Amino acid sequence: MMYDATGQRIFRHDLVMFEKTTGAEHDRGLVVSLGKTDIIVVLVDGTEVEKKPCDLTVVDRSFLCPGMAVASVSDCGGQPGVITGVATKLDLVQLDGTDDRPRVVATGVSPAEVWPVRELTRGDYVVSGMWLGRVVEVSVDVDVLFNDGTAVCRVTNAGDNKLRVVSKKSYWNRHKDGFYPGDGVAGDASVLKASRWIKGHWKPSHGEGIVAKVELGGVLVYWATSLQNASSPLPPAYHPNHRNLTFFCPGGTDLRWSWCVSARCYFRSRSPARAPKKKHRTNNNGILIRMAKVKRADRRLTEVKWPMAVANTRTTVNVLWQDGTRQLGVPSASLLGLPLRSQKDFFPGHRVVTKVLSPTPTIADVTNATSRVGVIKSLSSKDQTVCLSWITAAPGEVVDTVMSTYDLARSSDHSFSYGDMVVSLRPRVLSASGNEESNKANNDLAWVGHIADLCDAQYIHVKWGDGTMSKVLLHEIAIVKPRSVVVILREMGDWVSDDEGEDDAFHKKAQGDMPRHRPAPTDNTIGKVCNIFLAVIRTLSGMVVQGKMYMLSKSMASTSSRAEPAMAENIIQTCPHWFEAAAASALASHDAGGDDVVHFKHFDVVQSPRDHHYLDTNEQGGCGGRKWLKRVQKEWKILETSLHDTIYVRGFEDRMDLLRAAMVGASGTPYHDGLFFFDLHLPPSYPAAPPQVKYHSFGLHANPNLYPSGTVCLSLLNTFGGKGTELWSPESSSLLQVVVSIQGLVLTAQPYYNEANYAAQAGTPEGRRNELPYCENTYLVNLHTMLYLIRRPPVGFEMFVRDHFCRRGQHVLRACEAYLHEGCPVGTLDGEAIATETSKDRSCSVGFKLALANVVPRLVEAFTEIGARTSNEVDRM
């Protein structure tokens, strides 16, 4: 992160101010690149300069748009808000290609009064009749003026490397089709000779010229949606005439997010005032003196029409804060843009439903989750509570209540937000105040718009493309979700080129099945006898399996003469530094495992379970050959001797390509006392390719790296970005590294910082605001995972799960008591669930206590069923 002279964080596309150096004419520019120590700033004329962050001051943020989450610069750790409206004013100067100071043309100009040099750019939305589309490709035609204007040629598709800028290049010349009037350009003789000559003809001396005019040559449009019951059922052509397209900005009428310092434009005037006709003079013979002016007139037609440039922007926004208050006309530089972390980021007006996370939900739980939709009225970011109104079946009836944010989720049937683009599903009746002429002019944009307000419990407020505002019901509109231009091009096929680097420039804006019923718990004495009996059986079967594996290894050793893969000792000795750190972290945090799990080995080889995720894969382990088998045996040996006390792994004699791992959550983390299961598959290409890993998620999101789908995001598995030793290495990486990395690098004390690019927030007010609620939600997911595991334990680990929660159930309830009654922050208790010194630093939220109070009775019931001691903890709660 970089900070300006006032201590404010600097973002890309910020407008910054700095002191003029000797001879300089500019004192502000647009941030286009953030380096390690320097910042690249683009000046009004497009030139780039390097500046130190301490020499800059952020003065405007014109990239803010409706729907963006923001926080106040003066209170970065305070409540977030959402932008509901944006207004920008432009100061314009005239560029003339000289080194003179740019001449001020106008100040405080509305973006609606100007038009960019290129009418449409990649990523723009356009309307044609009753169809809405997105521009995915553009081409430009460039008129090049030579000599004194006596020769002009038109180069079509100039962006296809036909022309190159030879004058002082601006930042915008880097982009494809980045040509502007006044640029000095050159082209190969073959290109210029084959071009259309508007005036004069090609000569060998015509090597370099000046761009006189830039026109849109053609566009490729992806048609996204149309007005329902449109007169034309078929979309327009993918290559339409661009003159028949109307630009539409989702954020507001005639507003472009690309308006920034150094952007080039012209005034929008469509019908300039005509000068009165002059009377022609005649000579003595009465002949009109008009032909003598032809050459001069032609020359004027090809003079360069220099564009204006944006020298300054002043942007203000309207903000709706989480507590329901509104601020109008807030200076953009006083706000920080925030990434929306997930569906848990609520704002007033969002439609929500109650979560159903329990493995045994009641009929009332399911009914409420499917039929009741609430509208958030306000939210306390500190307490993690919301005030909402339930929309019930009775017309107009609402019920106000206060709930925990952790018990709510965004409604999948109402997954829209501020600034979302919408289209009307029924013909709109324009307001009576609009006259016929204005209605006709705005007809094309009367059915597309964006969501302006959601706080009305019954209606959605939409601002339409023609500038009007109306209230609509949900069934009267359709939400248009933005899609990446790159994705659209990929779907459209290989017949269009994918130009990387320009995508959306400045426009970027299961649960498992119901569980089986468990039998009633037996007497504790009977349970202990059963445990001993089963332990003896497991020990005997383990001896048999080990004997089989010994015979297999002896047989293979005598028949194989191939070069062996990395030895077990080498695999351990060549572990990268990050693995050692992860292992140390995992060991240091596991002081609270309690008594060892009796009679359950940390590593064993058994028969494959019927519920293994990769059981039905066609890639059987034996297909890897003897070399593959030897490597797997060595991996097993490492696991047998080197596993941590809180990691348990099972290999399978009938399916050597499969493994199952269980981990105990560490104290000092929101995963404490929980169990986490992973299914592993070794492909035939192993160890050239890393193992495949699937997490038993039960549809819950336990960590940024553990998806509800079961995907495990980790550099070591090549499922997440990384470099060097972070990636899988056939020579040095091992299964031991995989399981230790998951425990030490994924199941951490602060999982919030596992989110992509969030590590930089550590120690900042923004990080402190988000890390605590993230931990609280993670712990609630941990508790619900416990309930699922008790009722649906993975095959082969049934007694392990039962024994673990029989021993640790009282500690789980003791921790819940500390959170509920003492207000200890999640993850600050020791191994016996006793508060520590760090427990006094902060307090858990009210919303967390409300959600925890709802799940504790289910925990008590589940622990009681398996025979765990819970009476003392229940009495205290």
| Continuous segment of H or E residues that includes residue 264 | strand 264-267
Q: Can you spell out the DSSP letters for 174-227? A: GSTT---TT-EEE--HHHHHHSEEEES---TT-SEEEEEEEEEEEEEEEEEEE-
pLDDT at 414: 87
3-state SS, residue 573? helix
The burial of 177, by beta-carbon neighbours within 10 Å (0-12 exposed, 13-18 middle, 19 or more buried), is given as: buried
Whether 713 is a known active-site residue: answer yes
Taking residue 465's Cβ as centre, other Cβ atoms within 10 Å add up to: 26
- Rounded to 5 degrees, φ, ψ at 219 are -135, 150
Residues 44-97: pLDDT tens digits?
A: 988 889 999 999 999 999 989 898 999 999 988 889 999 999 999 999 999 776
Spatial distance between the Cα atoms of 602 and 650, rounded to a whole number of angstroms: 8
Instruction: Report which of 457, 451, 476 is spatially closest to residue 352, judged by C-alpha positions.
Output: 457
3-state SS, residue 502? coil
Residues 158-189: pLDDT tens digits?
A: 888 899 888 776 777 677 778 889 888 999 99
| Continuous segment of H or E residues that includes residue 547 | helix 524-559
644: Cβ contacts below 8 Å, ≥ 6 apart: 583, 586, 587, 590, 740, 743
The pLDDT of residue 837 is above 60: yes
pLDDT at 724: 83
568: Cβ contacts below 8 Å, ≥ 6 apart: 634, 635, 637, 638
Q: pLDDT exceeding 90 applies to what percent of the chain?
A: 48
Residues 103-147: pLDDT tens digits?
A: 899 999 999 899 888 888 888 999 988 899 999 999 999 999 997
Assign domain 524-876 to a CATH class.
Answer: alpha beta
Structure tokens at 802: 């039962």
Spatial distance between the Cα atoms of 562 and 857, rounded to a whole number of angstroms: 60
pLDDT at 295: 44
SS (H, E, C) 448-459: EEEEEECCCCCC
Instruction: Report which of 515, 488, 234, 489 is spatially closest to residue 360, judged by C-alpha positions.
Output: 515
Residues 261-278: pLDDT tens digits?
A: 989 999 987 443 334 444
Spatial distance between the Cα atoms of 870 and 854, rounded to a whole number of angstroms: 17
687: Cβ contacts below 8 Å, ≥ 6 apart: 565, 566, 631, 730, 733
Q: What is the CA radius of gyration of the chain?
A: 34
pLDDT at 541: 41
3-state SS, residue 671? coil
Return the beta strands (E) in 504-632 as ranges: 603-606
3-state SS, residue 56? coil
Mean of the pLDDT values across residues 265-293?
50
pLDDT at 810: 93
The burial of 215, by beta-carbon neighbours within 10 Å (0-12 exposed, 13-18 middle, 19 or more buried), is given as: middle
Give the residue, 489 or 430, on which the prediction is more confident: 489
Q: CA quadruple 202, 208, 213, 219: dihedral positive or negative?
A: positive
- Rounded to 5 degrees, φ, ψ at 867 are 90, 15
CA 181 to centroid of chain Cα atoms: 37
Give the residue, 762 or 540, on which the prediction is more confident: 762
Q: Can you spell out the DSSP letters for 678-738? A: EEEE--TTTTTSPPEEEE--TT---BTTB-TT-BB--GGGTSS---GGGS--TTT--HHHH
pLDDT at 341: 58
| Continuous segment of H or E residues that includes residue 801 | helix 798-817
| Continuous segment of H or E residues that includes residue 788 | helix 765-791
Write the CA distances from 291 to 148, 280, 300, 587, integer angstroms.
20, 11, 15, 94
| Continuous segment of H or E residues that includes residue 634 | helix 625-642
The pLDDT of residue 805 is above 50: yes
Residues 620-656: pLDDT tens digits?
A: 544 668 899 999 999 999 999 999 999 999 999 999 9
Instruction: Report which of 849, 860, 872 is spatially closest to residue 406, judged by C-alpha positions.
Output: 849
Q: Report yes or no: 80 and 73 within 8 Å, Cβ to Cβ.
A: no
Spatial distance between the Cα atoms of 131 and 227, rounded to a whole number of angstroms: 7
Residues 368-410: pLDDT tens digits?
A: 666 788 999 999 989 999 999 988 656 666 688 999 999 999 9
Kindly report which listed range (295-304, 462-471, 516-525) carries the lowest average pLDDT score: 516-525
Segment of 40-49, 415-424, 676-685, 722-731 carrying the highest mean pLDDT: 676-685
Q: What's the chain's length in residues?
A: 877
Spatial distance between the Cα atoms of 374 and 410, rounded to a whole number of angstroms: 9
Residue 290 amino acid letter: R
Q: Report yes or no: 755 and 704 within 8 Å, Cβ to Cβ.
A: yes
Spatial distance between the Cα atoms of 90 and 261, rounded to a whole number of angstroms: 9
Instruction: Report which of 470, 465, 474, 290 is spatially closest to residue 375, judged by C-alpha positions.
Output: 474
DSSP class of residue 852? Answer: H
3-state SS, residue 653? coil
Q: Report yes or no: 716 and 727 within 8 Å, Cβ to Cβ.
A: yes
Helix 524-559 × helix 798-817 angle, to 10°: 130
Q: Which of 387, 575, 713, 806 is catalytic?
A: 713
The pLDDT of residue 291 is above 50: no
Structure tokens at 640: 């047998």
pTM over 0.75: yes
The pLDDT of residue 3 is above 70: yes
Spatial distance between the Cα atoms of 769 and 764, rounded to a whole number of angstroms: 9
Spatial distance between the Cα atoms of 546 and 548, rounded to a whole number of angstroms: 5
* β-bridge partners, 649: 603, 661
Spatial distance between the Cα atoms of 15 and 632, rounded to a whole number of angstroms: 57
Q: List the chain domain ranges.
A: 524-876
Q: Can you spell out the DSSP letters for 14-52? A: -EEE-PPPTT----EEEEEEE-SS-EEEE-TTS-EEEE-
The pLDDT of residue 292 is above 70: no
Structure tokens at 754: 């596992």
Q: CA quadruple 792, 796, 797, 802: dihedral positive or negative?
A: positive
Q: Report yes or no: 770 and 817 within 8 Å, Cβ to Cβ.
A: no
Spatial distance between the Cα atoms of 639 and 646, rounded to a whole number of angstroms: 13
Kindly report which listed range (197-211, 221-235, 822-836) carries the lowest average pLDDT score: 221-235
* β-bridge partners, 659: 651, 680
The pLDDT of residue 285 is above 60: no
pLDDT at 303: 76
Mean of the pLDDT values across residues 827-856?
92
Q: Report yes or no: 729 and 716 within 8 Å, Cβ to Cβ.
A: no
Q: Report yes or no: 227 and 108 within 8 Å, Cβ to Cβ.
A: no
Residues 584-608: pLDDT tens digits?
A: 544 444 444 445 545 789 999 999 9
Kindly report which listed range (196-200, 263-267, 361-365, 809-813) carries the lowest average pLDDT score: 361-365
3-state SS, residue 611? coil
Kindly indicate the confidence band of residue 467, based on its pLDDT and cuts at 50, 70 and 90. Answer: confident
Spatial distance between the Cα atoms of 412 and 587, rounded to a whole number of angstroms: 41
Token match 């047998």: residue?
640
Q: Report yes or no: 79 and 432 within 8 Å, Cβ to Cβ.
A: no
Average pLDDT, the chain: 80
851: left (phi over 0), alpha (psi -120 to 50) or beta: alpha
Instruction: Report which of 35, 777, 787 is spatially closest to residue 404, judged by C-alpha positions.
Output: 777
pLDDT at 362: 62
pLDDT at 621: 44
Residues 541-599: pLDDT tens digits?
A: 443 344 334 333 433 433 343 333 443 444 444 445 444 454 454 444 444 444 554 57
